[in-house]
Chains A and B, each alone.
Chain A
Amino acid sequence: MKLLLVEDDKEAAGYLRRALSEVGHNLDHAANGRDGLMLAAAEPYDVIILDRMLPGLDGVAILRTIRAAGVKTPVLLLTAMGGIDDRVEGLEAGGDDYLVKPFAFAELLARVNALARRPPPQDVQTELEVADLKVDLLKRKVTRGGKRIELQQREFQLLEYLMRHAGRVVTRTMLLEGVWDFHFDPKTNIVETHMSRLRGKVDRGFDQELIHTVRGAGYILREPD
């Protein structure tokens, strides 16, 4: 995957480039907003990682300019800690996701992957399917191997999120935001609890597990090998 990072800290950028290339991604780095703008407009990237605070040109201003120029590349905004209004502002300016600095690399990777392979928005899915697990979004019906599975509302949303990101790692924070709309980190392990209940219903009693824990990163729902 070809990624663009707009970030003024060269050391952090160098570290990210090495880490991303280890997982097979190619990272271009722009050290300031002007270069970032030029690269974003000129090259086709899969995802742009944009620091919210750049010397000179503000990240949100760059984002607006990119969007005004018709560039539809998904943008992951890096925002400062504690900036509770940054998220809304960034998303309104055309950002697709945001991540608070400092972040874990696994978190960044999961979000970049989630953004890059986003299905086109006009493609409205009514049914999700992974292996023998089927989710009917309209009837809110879940079956596995033809057997009906009863889920509570929140478990259904959790499964839907995992299915939509099938084959990709989703982090705890992504689930908190995507399923509960919690944009802060509760101390209680609510994700783990709900996940274990969901796995009890979706995986228990079946030969193959579909939901897996990825140590140090999060969860993944994928087809058995």
Chain B
Amino acid sequence: MVRSTSLRLTTLYTAAFAVAVLVLGAVTLFSTRHALADQFDRRIRAESAAMSLEFHSEGLFGVVEAVHERDRTPGSLDYGVQGPNGEALAGRLASTKTDLGWSVVRIAPKGHGEAIRVLTTALPGGRRLLVGDDEERIEALDATVLRGFGLALAGVVVLGVAGGFALSNQMHRRLAAISGTAEAIIDGDLGRRVPLRGSDDDLDRLAQTINRMLDRIGALMESLKQVSNDVAHDLRTPLTRLRQRLEAGLASPDERESALEGSLADLDAILDTFAALLRIAQIEGGARRAGFRTCDLAAIAATVVDAFAPSAEEEGQSLARTDAGPVQIDGDAELLTQMLVNLVENSLRHAGAGARVHVSTLVTGEGAALSVRDNGPGVPEAERERLFDRFYRLERSRSTPGSGLGLALVGAVAKLHGAEVRLLDAGPGLEARVVFPRPATLGIDNPPVIGGLGRKA
């Protein structure tokens, strides 16, 4: 608890508050006392003046009368009239001192020798008039003020400390929830998330951010696991074949040359798969986005169609495109070219003999789009989403060449560009349409999506 930040803070605040209360108390005490003493003196002076007036109008007898009368009234001041030789003529107050002005007189009759503040003035005929009041009244007031502030101070400290403990307790509980989640994840429970209170305060928002981060890390881990599983699974077969071929070559010298050649071809295929996987991983890393430039989808389509049309023709297929003028987007021309190549190769390979593949670039209401349409057998709707998984191949395509990584790369490139790949029914055949977002909508607030085809990664 000593190390709790919130407790330390509240302790600090409480101390500061207590000092403020103390200063306030001192100032209040000082000024009240001052004002009170002033008022005391003024009252005494006024009474003294009133008595002098009495003497002038009514004479000594009048003054003595007045003193007696006031002595009988509770709450009044104390008085004393002395003759020229100091003999008491009336009142309780008596002073042996002869000088006039302010002095403090102690009187016994009321018991414990209270201190009376007295103003001595001269009356005609050498007589003296003493008017005073009990100083303890001021002290009693001091005590009241002090008690009040003392209580306030105690209240501040108690509230501060209690509040501090409560606050730090609550803070501690919420932070413990976060660190508990972290500990659980360290211990291997990767599914744990920080519990939310739903109050949407700063700690809740922090918890949400942490949870989102954990989700992202989880997705990456999942994807990594998926990749390693895929790699392990899909490379085991060609590696086994390679090994068998090499063993066969070693066993029979006649076959050595063909075994070596076959092994080299196997190895190249394995390396191709590796390279494709690494490339996809790099693209998914997203660093390429920094090198985006304006590029023309129509020009890319022209290059690709021009490169692949002759090969398609030789296979008795056709590859053509519709040119609707430049379609400019922000992107990586090299990757976009490879994406289109993969789509075109995919269509040519799977649409079969006599296939007609058509590439077009267009600008729709949603943004620029690149479309590759074939008239092949198409892909069942249920399987479309899985096409973008690494190594996924349709059952009927198992025998055709291909690594199963072509569309995974398409998905990765599209995602890098914030584009959406849609697989549509071209009736008959399949249309793969890559829809790029309008430049204004491509931003951090709009994370790239592959709508409806979202890879689980």
Contact = CB atoms under 8 A, between A and B. Distances in A.
Given A84-B282, A183-B334, A193 B272 contact: no
A154 B278 CA distance: 31
Given A186-B345, A187-B402, A188-B348, A81 B274 contact: yes
B271 A102 contact: yes
A189 B274 contact: no
B279 interface: yes
Nearest to A152: B306
Interface in A169-225: 180-190, 192-194, 197
Interface in B310-336: 310-311, 314, 334-335
Contacts of B277: 82
A85 interface: yes
A187 B281 CA distance: 20
A173 B302 CA distance: 20
B287 A85 contact: yes
Contacts of B279: 82, 84, 184
A188 B345 contact: yes
> For this complex, into which size category does the number of interface residues on chain B fall?
20 to 34
Contact of B307 (A182, A183, A184, A192): A182
Contacts of A84: 279, 282-283, 288, 334-335
B205 to A, nearest CB: 36
Nearest to B312: A188
B271 A187 contact: no
Contacts of B308: 186, 188, 190
Interface string B48-70: 00000000000000000000000
A187 B345 contact: yes
Assign chain A's interface to a size class.
20 to 34
A140 B168 CA distance: 82
A33 to B, nearest CB: 24
The B interface is mostly helix, strand or loop, or mixed, namely helix
A82 B402 contact: no
Contacts of B341: 182, 184, 186
A81 B335 CA distance: 16
A85 B281 CA distance: 13
Interface string B326-364: 000000001101100100010011000000000000000
Contacts of B283: 84
A22 to B, nearest CB: 18
A154 B306 contact: yes
A82 B401 contact: no
A189 B291 CA distance: 30
B274 A154 contact: no
A192 B311 CA distance: 9
Contacts of B151: none
A154 B309 CA distance: 12
For chain A, what secondary structure do more than half of its interface residues adopt (helix, strand, loop), or is it mixed?
loop
A100 interface: yes
Nearest to A188: B311
A83 interface: yes
Contacts of B275: 81-82, 100
A81 B310 CA distance: 30
Interface string B12-40: 00000000000000000000000000000
B345 A193 contact: no
B303 interface: yes
Nearest to B277: A82
Interface string B282-293: 110001100100
A82 B345 contact: no
Interface in A69-84: 81-84
A17 to B, nearest CB: 21
B278 A81 contact: yes
Given A190-B310, A194-B310, A82 B271 contact: no
Nearest to A183: B334
Interface string A77-110: 0000111110010000000000010100000000
B58 to A, nearest CB: 116
A185 B272 contact: yes
A158 to B, nearest CB: 11
Interface of B: 271-272, 274-275, 277-279, 281-283, 287-288, 291, 303, 306-308, 310-311, 314, 334-335, 337-338, 341, 345, 348-349, 401-402
16 contacts: A81-B271, A81-B274, A81-B278, A82-B274, A83-B278, A84-B282, A84-B283, A85-B288, A100-B275, A180-B307, A182-B337, A182-B341, A185-B272, A186-B307, A188-B311, A189-B311
Interface of A: 81-85, 88, 100, 102, 153-154, 180-190, 192-194, 197
Given A184-B341, A187-B349, A190-B311, 15 more contacts: A81-B278, A82-B277, A84-B282, A84-B283, A84-B334, A85-B288, A154-B306, A180-B303, A180-B307, A183-B334, A187-B345, A187-B402, A190-B310, A192-B311, A193-B311
